[in-house]
Amino acid sequence: MGFLRFLLRSSVLGLLGLSWLLAGVYLYLDPGLPDVETLRDVRLQTPMQVYTRDGHLIGQFGEQKRNPLRFEDIPPQFVQALLAAEDDRFFTHRGVDLAGLMRAVSELALTGEKGSGGSTLTMQVARNYFLSLERTFTRKFNEILLAIKIERALEKEEIFELYFNRVFLGHRAYGFEAASQVYYGTGIGELTLAQHAMLAGIPKAPSRNNPISGPQASKERRDWILGRMLSLGYIQQEHWAAAVQEPASAQHHGAQLSFAAHYAAEMARQEMLERYGMSAYTDGYHVYTTINSELQQLAQQTVVNGLMTYDRRHGYRGPERQLPPPTDAGQADGRATAAWLAALADTPVVAGLTPAIVTRLREDRVDLLFSDGTSSELLWDDGLRQASPYLTENSMGRAPSSIADVVSAGDLIRVQRKDDARWHLSQVPAAQAALVSLNPDNGAIVSIVGGLGFESSKFNRATQARRQPGSSFKPFVYSAALEAGFTAASIINDAPVVLEDTSLEDIWRPENDGGRFYGPTRLRWALTQSRNLVSIRLLQQIGVPALIRHVERFGFDTSEFAPDLSLALGTHVMSPLQLATAYAVLANGGYAVQPFLIERIEDTDGNVVFAAAPPTVCRDCPPARSLEGAAPERELRMEEILAGATEADSTTPPRAERVMDERSNFILTSILKDVIKRGTGRRALTLGRDDLAGKTGTTNGPMDAWFSGYNRDVVTTAWVGFDNYTPLGRREFGGTAALPIWIDYMRGALRDSPDVQPPLPPGVVHVRIDPDTGLLARPGQQNAIFEYFREDRVPAPSGGAGDAGLRGTTEDLVRDIF
């Protein structure tokens, strides 16, 4: 009895001592513990997501991949899988599982090493949000105390949600929804029981137990969790049996984009980084751009198709690489196959063009090997027969007579699957292209393509390239002329000119395309046929300084303009976006707009933190203020392009400023419609519309091919050229290389747009003229044609002195206006 009494007394004293010890530890540690109430408003690092205007995800940027979910959106089956793996008594304990702690103490006593630590989900939340990962007794006590506090402050569902969204799961995935996207390419709600168990097994050892880095270990862990779910009564025997037999299917998936629009997404990323700094990558911003998803995909495809068509006209350049062939000419050996697969793994798909290795040549086909180890064949008639070799940009060799003339075993080539489901020989075009399309009423970028493929070149030619526009700049010379007092019927002599300009290095003898000269020519016909000499003589009369001041209104950065007469032929440099912005003024009736890409920005809670309010053309408003005396300098800055000039502070955007007379704008557009009806843009007649206007552009070489065109609803610029300024080929012009891209895009862009002719503006008249003199036609004149004029500039009747009088006042008009 005395011994029992002693033992009882000792136990009581021991428990009292332990209680005092624990109380002392609590009093010592508690003041330094963080406030668990902060978990109610925790801000997880969430990547920035970029969307089209109609809500399609086109970009995701951030170091941590995370897609937070609310508890009610988490599949119950996954909740059970995680509880089986980590803490099956989660919904009954108060933050600390005493049985688990005793097990951990036993492991420590028996082995001398720290085991799992008996951590509950709540304790792991405390560790993940507040503590370090070091395994010490002090941290463990802090973990226990914080877990108890968390349980008192939050509901169980809130605690589970915090764990679900925060835990690291390998491959930059944080939270189980992000892990589901990374490993299976879909949301966690779409996964099978086996996949749920696979994900639930990762937290114990994210680097070793994830299904990509450790497939065997992760499968063993998965099967153990399935067994636990069975023993806990979460699943039935037949479900367990099916799940353990399910083969592992995980593979790495990137961000689940609706479609790739990398150039647009990258532009948005740059602006967000400039606006918010590095927090742009972690604060979960949702960036909604002005991009129209349907038109963006159309733009990307038309650029690829246009470059492929150009490329086929110039011959086959051969394989991208030539790898060692197999030692046995008739059959690939293992060593060759391994080298081929390694080369294919390093060769990305570009613009839908798939890399493949030629493994064997047959009489009428070749065998192909792809990066995933699968095989197929390429028939002689599917591109091999047509693969005449490239010699120069102007010539090709003879058509091949056999497969051996085109490819050899070990060649790395490109193939493309077409509508017939067969593979066709192809190659990555060496030329590049850009396309940008705007809403002319406010400058919103509805589609933008900066090159053949972002995978092969991140250089955005739509915004960053500086290329000569050639004749596609001429409309702005004619715009200045119309504003200065010339008319569409004014006569300029298309004749040779020799210029000794002090700003030019040598004597300049410009010519028309083809070397011919056509004598006295009306301005309308000169622009329709893109006559170089008329543009130069016109600029001589307007004056270079006056032209530069005039075109600044259209958004051109004139700091890169050489102040000489070569401006008339578009020898200065600009980006496709700058040119499209200027054409938007022609399309919207004469108002200046600024291009922008970001329409609004929302924070992680859906609050709008930025909304663009660009100057906008109001079609139904009374006339805007006059442009008299206004010639604002309007260099386009990147931040303006990306986010608009102003933020919204009201529901009504500011009105765009008029920078071109409405009457002159109407007359110039009517001339540019003639470019399509009977000039260098005639290919566009295939669209079957009467409301289209535009202008081709081709530079010396030719090195650049352009087409810019519009109707009232859409303005689009297409450019084709080589990054290294290699000539395109002597038969390549704006109308052959760039215009087909523009046509294919506009066919889709205008599908639902009515073909509407604008009304005649006040102050414009439509009268009959003599086509030879540009004067009013005589009564009954047989060859008379109709022309548009401003009421105050109707010419004199034919045969009078009015023509001389009009010419005599030109210089005075120029001085008055400029």
What is the per-residue DSSP string for 124-170?
A: HHHHHHHS-S---HHHHHHHHHHHHHHHHHS-HHHHHHHHHHH-B-S
* Whether 53 and 116 share a structural domain: no
Verify that 91 and 213 share a domain, yes or no. Answer: yes
Mean pLDDT of the region 569-576: 96
Q: What is the reported pLDDT for 145?
A: 85
**Residue 44 in this model has a pLDDT that exceeds 70:** yes
- Higher pLDDT: 661 or 65? It is 661
Residue 250, domain member (yes or no): no
Contact call for residues 295 and 435 (beta carbons, < 8 A): no
CATH number of the domain bearing residue 157: 1.10.3810.10
Q: Are residues 337 and 440 in the same domain?
A: no
Continuous segment of H or E residues that includes residue 768 = strand 764-769
Among 13-27, 29-43, 342-356, 559-573, name the one with the lowest average pLDDT.
Answer: 13-27
CA distances from 55 to 172, 259, 497, 528, 569 (A): 25, 12, 56, 41, 42
Pairing of strands 354-361, 321-322: unpaired
CA–CA separation, 105 vs 291, rounded Å? 60
In terms of domains, do 752 and 768 share one? no
Question: Would you say residue 630 has pLDDT above 70?
Answer: no
pLDDT of residue 320: 95
Cα maximum dimension of the chain: 144
What does the pLDDT read at residue 534?
A: 96
Q: Indicate the helix (H) or strand (E) that contains 262.
A: helix 262-276
Instruction: Judge whether 540 lies within some domain.
Output: no
Q: Supply the pLDDT for residue 95.
A: 83
| pLDDT number for residue 143 | 78
- The answer to which of 28-37, 57-66, 792-801 has the lowest mean pLDDT is 28-37
45 DSSP 8-state letter: -
Active-site residue flag, 471: yes
Please state, in angstroms and rounded to a whole number, the distance separating the CA atoms of residues 142 and 620.
68
Residue with tokens 């290919």: 683
pLDDT band at 438 (very low <50, low <70, confident <90, very high): very high
Of 185, 220, 245, which marks where a domain is finished? Answer: 245
Q: Which residue has the higher pLDDT, 3 or 526?
A: 526
Q: Is residue 141 pLDDT above 90, yes or no?
A: no
Q: Are residues 44 and 87 in the same domain?
A: no
- Whether the per-residue pLDDT at 399 is higher than 60: the answer is yes
Instruction: Look at residue 569 and tell me whether its pLDDT is greater than 80.
Output: yes
Q: Is residue 738 one of the residues assigned to a domain?
A: yes
Is residue 677 in some structural domain? no
Residue 660 has pLDDT above 90, yes or no: yes
First-to-last alpha carbon distance for the chain, in angstroms, is 119
**Together in a domain, 283 and 333:** no
Residue 691 lies in a domain: no
15, pLDDT greater than 60: no
> What pLDDT, on the 0 to 100 scale, is given for residue 147?
83
Task: Say yes or no: 179 and 193 in one domain.
Answer: yes
Per-residue pLDDT reduced to its tens digit, 233-287:
999 999 999 999 999 999 988 888 899 999 999 999 999 999 999 999 999 999 9
**Domain boundaries, position 799:** 764-817
For position 560, what pLDDT does the model report?
84
pLDDT > 90? residue 715: yes
789 and 721, same domain (yes or no): no
Percent of the chain clearing pLDDT 90 (strictly above): 70
Q: Are residues 349 and 459 in the same domain?
A: no
- Rounded CA separation 201/194 (Å): 11
Q: How far apart are CA 620 and CA 113, in angstroms?
A: 80
Please check the confidence at residue 634 and state whether its pLDDT lies above 80.
no
Distance between CA atoms of residues 369 and 738, nearest Å: 35
Domain end: 397, 426, 455, which one? Answer: 426
* Structure letter (DSSP) for residue 773: T
Question: What band does 420 get if pLDDT is binned at 50, 70 and 90?
Answer: confident
Quick check: is 538 in a domain?
Answer: no
Cα separation, 147 vs 153, in Å, equals: 10
User: Is the separation of the CB atoms in 575 and 462 below 8 Å?
Assistant: yes
- Cα–Cα distance between 230 and 235 in angstroms, integer? 5
Q: How many domains does the chain have?
A: 5
pLDDT at residue 304, as a whole number: 97
In this structure, the answer to whether residues 114 and 17 fall within a common structural domain is: no
Return the pLDDT at 303.
98
Mark whether 141 and 87 lie in a shared domain: yes
Question: What percent of the chain clears pLDDT 70, i.e. is strictly above it?
Answer: 84
| CB count in 10 Å sphere of residue 236 | 11
Local confidence band at 815 (pLDDT 50, 70, 90 cut-offs)? very low
Instruction: List, for residues 53-101, the tens digit of each pLDDT value.
Output: 999 999 999 988 888 899 999 999 999 999 999 999 999 998 887 776 6
Q: CB neighbours of 342 closer than 8 A, spacing ≥ 6?
A: none
Q: What is the pLDDT of residues 759-785, one digit of tens each?
A: 999 999 999 999 999 999 999 899 999
Task: State the pLDDT at residue 538.
Answer: 96
Residue 482 lies in a domain: no
Q: What is the mean pLDDT of residues 522-549?
A: 96
Residue 552 appears among annotated catalytic residues:
no
**Residue finishing a domain among 426, 452, 478:** 426
pLDDT band at 7 (very low <50, low <70, confident <90, very high): low
Whole-angstrom distance, CA of residue 23 vs CA of residue 266: 56
24 and 82 share a domain? no
Report the alpha-carbon distance of residue 480 to residue 83 in Å, rounded: 75
Supply the CATH number for residue 799's domain: 3.40.50
Considering the entire predicted model, what is its pTM? 0.86
Mean pLDDT of the chain: 87
Catalytic residue among 388, 447, 471, 575: 471
The predicted pLDDT at position 65 comes to: 82
- Taking residues 482-504, report their average pLDDT: 85
pLDDT reported for residue 209: 82
Q: 256-265, 387-396, 433-442, 646-655: which range is least confident on average?
A: 646-655
Token code pair at residue 532: 């170089």
> Higher pLDDT residue, 330 or 659?
659
- Residue 182, domain member (yes or no): yes
* pLDDT confidence of residue 368: 96
pLDDT of 506 reads 66
- In this prediction, residue 36 carries a pLDDT of 64
Least confident of 107-121, 186-200, 362-376: 107-121
Would you say residue 31 has pLDDT above 60? no
* 804 confidence band (pLDDT: 50, 70, 90): very low
CATH at residue 742: 3.40.710.10
CA 673, CA 437: separation in Å to the nearest integer?
Answer: 19
Mean pLDDT of 745-763: 94
In the prediction, which pLDDT does 639 show? Answer: 52
Mean pLDDT of 442-449: 98
Strands 286-289 and 48-51: parallel
Q: Which of 86, 151, 602, 787 is catalytic?
A: 86
pLDDT tens by residue, 805-814: 344 334 433 3
Instruction: Say if residue 698's pLDDT is above 80.
Output: yes
**Among residues 425, 422, 430, which one has the least CA distance to residue 414?**
425
